[in-house]
Amino acid sequence: MNKYNQTLDKNFRDKEKLIQIPTRNGYGEGLVLAGKENPNVLVLCADLTESTRSIDFQKEFPKRFIECGIAEQNMMSMASGLALSGKIPFVSTYAVFSPGMNWGQIRVNVLQNNANVKIAGAHTGISVGPDGMSHQALEDIAILRCLPGIIILVPCDAIEARKAVLAAARCKGAVYLRFAREKTPVFTSEKTPFQIGKAEILKKGKDVTIIGCGPLLYEALLAAEKLEKKGIEAEVINNHTIKPLDEKTILASIKKTKVLVTIEEHQIMGGMGSAVVEMLAKKFPAPVEMIGVQDRFGESGEPEELMEKFKLTHPYIIKAVEKVLKRK
Amino acid sequence: MAIYSIHESKIKKLEETANQIRQDIIKMLLAAGSGHSAGPLGMADVFTALYFHILNHNPKKPDWPDRDKLILSNGHICPVLYAVLARAGYFPIEELKTLRKFGSRLQGHPHRGSLPGIENSSGPVAYGAGLAVGMAIAAKMDEKKHQIYCIVGDGEQDEGMTWEAINMAGKWRLDNLTFIMDRNNIQIDGYTEDVMPKEPLRQKYEAFGWHVIDIDGNNIRQIVEACQQAEAIFEKPVMIIAHTIPGKGVDFMEGKFKWHGITPKPEEAREALHQLRTLGGKIKSEHE
């Protein structure tokens, strides 16, 4: 039992007993808390106030909420001007629009100005569902990871999302926060530590490392539990901070287990898995299987249908573990 | 516009400074061997009027929170910004000759943080407009009295994001915001109206809720009076369309789009400096 992180929700093994909330709700709650904590916190949104949950902040602090219309490039530029004037703007819309449409403004106006802008990408991953490929952000991490000076956070549930928003508001510098649309199990608790740049071990194990980010981590926990029954001890790491990467925690785990499986709801090119294996290739090369979206766009469907079709659920994690163990 | 008076002697002094700035620009571009010539020369009068008469700023305290802020949206004309900043006392004049060199604080396009007085990193055109709008909104929220100026090019009117910013400024009725457009009618591929029509600029800006003032952008009195008028306009952002002559002050550069993105060779620089020192041969220079 003590293999598991003791701060997880006590019902984490039983999905039925866990409450299910989208991580975007954690964003809305976090914004209100950050707004109460610091009067300089502002929220900008591009005509998606309800679905990004920016509405929570708008209701609480209407004078600190800026409706930008459907103009994401200008929203990001304005955020940089606000930040250079001492404000802490949170730029909120779907990730396919921001950073999808304003990467240049992030590069020049935010990062080359060293502006304290927080970027919230909503509706990421194929779990966006029926809206289909145009609205399923699967490339956001890849296009931001390559930019110097940005911090990238992918919270795994609504509680962690709220903590990530507060941490982002408190830290100086540009931060990207990634959120999902669908309800997903809340399996961490108020007590689970969250620190930018510090990966959290959810379960200890010696045979294989499963490292992931976002709500998919719950599938990793389910996989790890089933693997236990097969006598395979998997270590599960919540790598919520993709940049800067917690090399120390990850290296220590891989040096112990020697093999890994990466999981994320993002293209396998340029995402969290890429960040991990780039680092390992230099410091401790290890056999790896990468679970994610395999170089294709999404499609319409119910989230659970798509998660199955794209092979992102725990049975596929188990298969990947068994495959990678053969290369040990 | 007679109510906005500026003494003739002050105008004379500003004209002399602008001439000095143009000479600095030629020397900088010659030393750099790459960069933009036409835009900086054309905008020398506007930048001189701003930094030596209009802006409430303090080179000794570049981070003073209540300063007027000048955002450069068309970063490629930065030699003129560097020259006025140096002449205003932000950094040593000798440093101007390091433009674009390895290790220089005078980067090819401006970088905030590298050099005192630079309010925004820029280069890709049109990025400054939205940033300036954000600064003006922040000033409104904090009930600050300082003005935000933004220099934009006419070429960047092609960019969609320009109009997103213009729309937002109109929505917020940002009367603390003044744009000055370098309307020099050239961009890299040719004359602006051939590359992509910009006109009718006045009507476009008015339709977005802006007050528009057209001026001769190489006439110091008109520049000063337009900026003073802009400050007095309430409830609307102001666009000053400064009709300038690209390459102004050097006859073989004036009005020629080929000088947009190239620099003078040594003999051309010599001729340019001669023309500036003698005002086109009209006076005999003591430097001859």
Q: What is the pLDDT of residues A45-63, one digit of tens each?
A: 999 999 999 999 999 999 9
* Distance separating alpha carbons of residues A25 and A22, to the nearest angstrom: 6
Interchain pair B165, A78: CB under 8 A: yes
Average pLDDT over residues B66-94: 97
Length of chain B: 288
Average pLDDT over residues A97-104: 98
- Least Cα distance to A64 among A37, A45, A86, A41 occurs for A41
- CA dihedral (A202, A205, A206, A207) positive or negative: negative
User: Which pLDDT does position A80 carry in this prediction?
Assistant: 98
Average pLDDT over residues A266-284: 98
Shortest CA gap A144–chain B (Å):
18
User: Which pLDDT does position B288 carry in this prediction?
Assistant: 40
Average pLDDT over residues A231-239: 98
User: Which pLDDT does position B6 carry in this prediction?
Assistant: 87
Helix runs in chain B, H state only: 8-32, 38-42, 44-49, 78-88, 127-141, 160-171, 192-195, 201-207, 220-232, 266-277
Residues of B in contact with A77 (CB under 8 A): 127-131, 133-134, 161, 165
Q: Closest chain A residue to B114 measured between Cα atoms?
A: A113
Using CB atoms, pick whichever of A74, A76, A113 lies closest to residue B112.
Answer: A113
Interchain pair A109, B142: CB under 8 A: no
User: Which pLDDT does position A46 carry in this prediction?
Assistant: 98
Average pLDDT over residues B3-25: 91
Walk me through the domains of chain A, giving residue ranges and CATH numbers.
20-185 (3.40.50.970), 193-325 (3.40.50.920)
Average pLDDT, chain B: 94
What share of chain B in percent tops pLDDT 90?
Answer: 92
Check residues B288 and A253 and name the one with the higher pLDDT.
A253
Residue A268 touches chain B, beta carbons under 8 Å: no
Confidence of residue B287 (pLDDT cuts 50, 70, 90): very low
Size of interface A-B (CB pairs under 8 A): 103
| Angle value at C-alpha B121, between B75 and A98, nearest 5 degrees | 110
User: Which pLDDT does position B279 carry in this prediction?
Assistant: 79
Q: What is the per-residue pLDDT across B227-272, written as a single tens digit (0 to 9) for each?
A: 999 999 999 999 999 999 999 999 999 998 889 889 999 999 999 9
Average pLDDT over residues A183-191: 97
Average pLDDT over residues A80-103: 98
User: Which pLDDT does position A125 carry in this prediction?
Assistant: 97
Residues of B in contact with A83 (CB under 8 A): 134
**Contact yes or no for A70/A46 (Cβ under 8 A):** yes
- Least Cα distance to B163 among A74, A109, A103, A67 occurs for A74
Q: Closest chain A residue to B172 measured between Cα atoms?
A: A66
User: Which pLDDT does position B257 carry in this prediction?
Assistant: 85
Average pLDDT over residues A251-257: 98
Residues of A in contact with B110 (CB under 8 A): none
Residue A298 contacts by C-beta under 8 Å, 6 or more apart in sequence? A126, A128, A132, A133, A136, A138, A306, A310
Question: Three-state secondary structure along chain A?
Answer: CCCECCCCCCCCCCHHHCCEECHHHHHHHHHHHHHHHCCCEEEEECCCCCCCCCHHHHHHCHHHEEECCCCHHHHHHHHHHHHHCCCEEEEEEECCCCCCCCHHHHHHHHHCCCCCCEEEEECECHHHHHHCHHHCECCHHHHHHCCCCCEEECCCCHHHHHHHHHHHHHCCCCEEEECCCCCEECCCCCCCCCECCECEEEECCCCEEEEECCCCHHHHHHHHHHHHHCCCCEEEEECCEEECCCHHHHHHHHHHHCCEEEEEEEECCCCHHHHHHHHHHHHCCCCEEEEEECCCCCCCCCHHHHHHHCCCCHHHHHHHHHHHHCCC
Average pLDDT over residues A318-325: 98
Residue B266 touches chain A, beta carbons under 8 Å: no
- A189: pLDDT strictly greater than 90: yes
- A269: pLDDT strictly greater than 90: yes
Residue A85 touches chain B, beta carbons under 8 Å: yes
User: Which pLDDT does position A280 carry in this prediction?
Assistant: 98
Is A247 among the catalytic positions? no
Shortest CA gap A60–chain B (Å):
17
Average pLDDT, chain A: 97
Residues of B in contact with A68 (CB under 8 A): 168
Write out residues 13-72 of A within 8 Å (CB-CB) of B.
Answer: 63-64, 66, 68-69, 71
Shortest CA gap A109–chain B (Å):
7
Q: For residue B185, what are its two tokens?
A: 């009618």
Shortest CA gap B50–chain A (Å):
21
Confidence of residue B4 (pLDDT cuts 50, 70, 90): low
Confidence of residue B280 (pLDDT cuts 50, 70, 90): low
Determine how many CB atoms are found less than 10 A away from the CB of residue A261: 29
- B93: pLDDT strictly greater than 60: yes
Stretch among A86-90, A135-139, B260-264 having the lowest mean pLDDT:
B260-264
User: Which pLDDT does position B5 carry in this prediction?
Assistant: 75
Confidence of residue A284 (pLDDT cuts 50, 70, 90): very high
- B3: pLDDT strictly greater than 60: no
User: Which pLDDT does position B1 carry in this prediction?
Assistant: 43
Shortest CA gap A43–chain B (Å):
12
* Distance separating alpha carbons of residues A224 and A318, to the nearest angstrom: 8
Interchain pair B133, A63: CB under 8 A: no
Residues of B in contact with A174 (CB under 8 A): none
User: Which pLDDT does position B286 carry in this prediction?
Assistant: 47
Q: For residue B229, what are its two tokens?
A: 């008028």
Which amino acid is located at A194 in the chain?
F
Interchain pair B121, A108: CB under 8 A: yes
